[in-house]
């Protein structure tokens, strides 16, 4: 633990002289970045508040769960270790991948040997640790389990295995299935399909009622959804991997909502309406154990209903309803208050994302966060003291701060200090919080605070990384803004070479993501691309990032103005940015390249075609090349279906503009990309060949959307660096 006074003295020095040159400097290399992880910050691993709100737990050395005090940071107890209990074949302790306490905290679920399914889904071997008896037992003797969750009284655990929902009685060891019809690529119970997981951030498809009598769960019938096929290589005969992936305009899974009553052994199907072509992206029990809430969203995603279901009858009534001329973003910003008479929900209905207090009769009481700014994240409500905590971008879309406001909407107070990006995690009871704070030039600092904001202890200041940054002569990124020819003010960030000379002309690499609601120009630490950009700057490049129209932090109108025309305004803004940079005295306008990944790869490809007169080169990693190839929920949210919006889909898909490309083009994709399919690269390559356009292409066998193994990332970043040097590098 670090002394608070020492931390603030060091922070002040860093803010005044963030990257003072030391007597000895070292070179940034890709090997240091990807193999040695020389610039990866230390983090706080799987922190959990305990029920008393006074203590918290962390994982140390990947094998130990330790208990600390919030107020002093002092180590209090060792809760669990895998040493001597969970060992691999070589006799080494297994890594703890997940853990959770039962409500009275006398038992823990310990997950080991975890394996990824898709981006947000995992399966693992789970074990139950009884702290009093010092006993460890497997949760189940079957195959690996998913999403285990203690019942409210801690006597049972519900979990998913092989598309079925199970319950384990801990006292007797009896395990039984709640569903039996689960089947891969056909029926899913208790968890979600690929597209719900990816686009609604939802994997846990079941919830215990507050009294533990019932479990509500989702059931997906995806038997009619078309399959996507990926090849898995590395053996004599490659294997096919098939999964259900509904592409834009195609059929989705049919989703139903059910309630299982443990006392009567009955399954009740909730009345979710006659329309099958809709979404149920959220379910949550109210404070009344007999009333379940769920959200219903139409396929166009512009009509949201918060519905209440009677757990005994399945009948529903509407609690809250919202319509939008563009689309409605589904969030987790929903809390039912303990008084049983109110709930808090977020909405963009006033033009910015804000929090609203409603009664359980559906009447709006007040906006809790009024103003022309976006509420970033709803933290929670401390009802005992009548307080609501949230993150907001009040001063600038580049930064956020933690705020508290009374439930009556008065006495708003900023709790965080400095300018940068905060991510707090509160204790139970809201007495303390652990904050992660960083800036574009300073790596994360983890610190403990009282709920008033007062600093208590610094858990990790990443002082070693700060020293490495100084040794490697990192340059402080500069934030600026400029107006386009249409009078649109855009935010940007620039990294110049350490020995920058305004009398010289430099090549420029523009980095773009640019997708709806996303922000790349923020005052926060970026380890991997950020370090690579610093390396390029040391090699004589200027690196610039611009947030185009459609990105976040600036209200609903700015964010949603790309509706039905993804790519059009984003590309115009990136082209305008390149022209703006090209007019600067120290930029060589003939040597401007653009790089992006995923949505950014889509835009970099489109920019090279539509901006052929300003971009000399482009790198596209895992790009969407036609919106017809992407999934229903994401694509239709912004574009509706291809049947309804043919021109919107085709006018701004790079695959239809390859004949305009004149600059150097590098196309990169992983063959096992379950998100943006390898098909996008194949079809793009075919179109380029047919148009007679030369290009370079690199394929990463059996790598997914992230291409994230150390060896593959090292290879990729060497490839991209070499491509830039050959295309626009120093002359």
Which residues are tagged catalytic?
598, 673, 705
Where b means 16+ CB within 10 Å and e means fewer, 8-45 reads eebbeebeeebbeeeeeeeebebebbbeeebbebeeee
Which residues make Cβ contacts (< 8 Å) with residue 361, sequence separation at least 6? none
From the list 388, 391, 386, 387, the residue with the least C-alpha distance to 373 is 391
**Cα 79 to Cα 84: distance, rounded to the nearest angstrom:** 14
**Cα 460 to Cα 43: distance, rounded to the nearest angstrom:** 7
Q: Is 668 in contact with 620 (CB distance < 8 Å)?
A: yes
**Cα 460 to Cα 483: distance, rounded to the nearest angstrom:** 40
Tokens read off for 240 = 């096919």
What separation in angstroms does the CA of 685 have from each of 595, 676, 689, 692?
Answer: 18, 15, 6, 11
Torsion of CA 269, 272, 274, 280, to 10 degrees: -120
Tokens read off for 449 = 């605070």
Instruction: With H, G, I as helix, E, B as strand and everything else as coil, classify residue 116.
Output: strand
**48 phi and psi, to 5 degrees?**
-135, 130
| Residue in the block written with tokens 């990309």 | 673
The rounded radius of gyration (Å) of the Cα atoms in the chain is 26
Tokens read off for 225 = 């959804």
| Residue in the block written with tokens 């909407």 | 409
**Cα 456 to Cα 72: distance, rounded to the nearest angstrom:** 7
Instruction: With H, G, I as helix, E, B as strand and everything else as coil, classify residue 398.
Output: coil
Rounded to the nearest angstrom, the gap between the alpha carbon of residue 269 and the centroid of all alpha carbons in its chain is 32
């Amino acid at each position: 633990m670090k002394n608070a006074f020492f931390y603030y003295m060091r922070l002040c020095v860093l803010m005044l002289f963030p990257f003072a040159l030391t007597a000895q400097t070292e070179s940034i290399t890709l090997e240091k970045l990807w193999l040695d992880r020389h610039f990866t910050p230390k983090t706080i691993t799987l922190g959990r508040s305990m029920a008393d709100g006074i203590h918290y737990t962390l994982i140390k050395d990947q094998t130990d769960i330790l208990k600390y005090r919030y107020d002093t940071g002092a180590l209090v107890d060792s809760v669990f270790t895998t040493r001597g209990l969970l060992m691999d074949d070589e006799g080494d302790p297994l890594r703890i991948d997940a853990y959770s306490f039962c409500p009275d905290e006398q038992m823990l679920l310990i997950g080991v040997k975890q394996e990824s399914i898709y981006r947000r889904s995992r399966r693992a071997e789970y074990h139950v640790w009884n702290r009093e008896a010092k006993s460890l037992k497997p949760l189940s003797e079957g195959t690996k389990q998913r999403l285990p969750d203690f019942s409210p009284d801690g006597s049972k655990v519900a979990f998913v295995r092989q598309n079925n929902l199970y319950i384990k009685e801990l006292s007797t060891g009896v395990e039984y299935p709640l569903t039996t019809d689960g089947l891969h690529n056909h029926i899913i119970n208790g968890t979600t399909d690929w597209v719900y997981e990816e686009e609604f951030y939802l994997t846990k498809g079941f919830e215990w009622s507050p009294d533990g009598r019932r479990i509500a769960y989702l059931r997906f019938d995806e038997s009619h959804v078309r399959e996507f096929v990926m090849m898995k290589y590395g053996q004599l005969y490659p294997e096919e991997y098939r999964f259900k992936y509904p592409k834009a305009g195609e059929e989705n899974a049919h989703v139903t909502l059910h309630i299982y009553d443990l006392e009567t052994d009955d399954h009740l199907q909730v009345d979710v309406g006659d329309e099958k072509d809709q979404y149920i992206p959220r379910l949550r029990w109210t404070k009344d154990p007999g009333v379940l809430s769920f959200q219903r969203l139409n396929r166009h995603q512009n009509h949201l209903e918060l519905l209440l279901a009677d757990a005994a009858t399945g009948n529903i009534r509407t609690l809250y309803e919202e319509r939008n001329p563009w689309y409605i973003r589904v969030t987790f910003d929903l809390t039912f208050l303990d008084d049983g008479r109110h709930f808090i929900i977020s909405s963009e209905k006033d033009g910015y994302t804000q929090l609203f207090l409603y009664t359980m009769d559906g009447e709006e009481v007040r906006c809790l966060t009024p103003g022309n700014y976006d509420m970033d994240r709803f933290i929670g409500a401390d009802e005992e003291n009548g307080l609501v905590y949230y993150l907001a971008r009040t001063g600038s879309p580049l930064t956020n701060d933690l705020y508290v406001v009374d439930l009556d909407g008065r006495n708003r107070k900023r709790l965080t200090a400095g300018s940068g990006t905060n991510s707090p995690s509160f204790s139970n009871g809201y007495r303390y919080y652990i904050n992660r704070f960083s800036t574009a030039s300073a790596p994360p600092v983890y610190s403990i605070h009282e709920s008033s904001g007062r600093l208590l202890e610094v858990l990790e200041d990443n002082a070693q990384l700060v020293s490495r940054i100084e040794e490697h002569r990192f340059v402080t990124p500069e934030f600026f803004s400029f107006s386009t020819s249409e009078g649109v003010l855009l935010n940007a960030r620039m990294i110049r070479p350490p020995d920058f000379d305004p009398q010289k002309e430099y090549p420029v690499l523009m980095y773009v993501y640019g997708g709806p609601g996303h922000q790349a120009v923020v005052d926060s630490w970026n380890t991997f691309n950020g370090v690579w950009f610093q390396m390029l700057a040391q090699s004589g490049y200027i690196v610039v990032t611009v947030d185009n129209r459609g990105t976040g932090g600036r209200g609903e109108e700015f964010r949603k103005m790309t509706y039905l025309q993804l790519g059009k305004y984003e590309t115009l803004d990136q082209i305008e940015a390149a022209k703006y940079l090209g007019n600067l005295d120290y930029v060589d306008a003939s040597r401007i390249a653009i790089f992006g990944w995923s949505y950014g790869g889509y835009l970099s490809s489109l920019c090279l075609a539509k901006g052929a007169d300003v971009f000399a080169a482009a790198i596209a990693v895992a790009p969407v090349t036609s919106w017809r190839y992407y999934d229903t929920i994401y694509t239709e949210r912004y574009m509706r279906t291809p049947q309804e919006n043919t021109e919107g889909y085709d006018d701004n898909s790079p695959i239809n503009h390859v004949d305009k490309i004149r600059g150097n083009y590098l196309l990169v994709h992983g063959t096992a990309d379950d998100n943006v399919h390898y098909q996008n690269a194949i079809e793009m390559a075919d179109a380029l060949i047919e148009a007679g356009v030369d290009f370079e292409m690199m394929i990463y066998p059996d790598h997914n959307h992230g291409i994230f193994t150390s060896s593959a990332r090292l290879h990729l970043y060497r490839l991209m660096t070499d491509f830039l040097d050959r295309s626009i590098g120093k002359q």
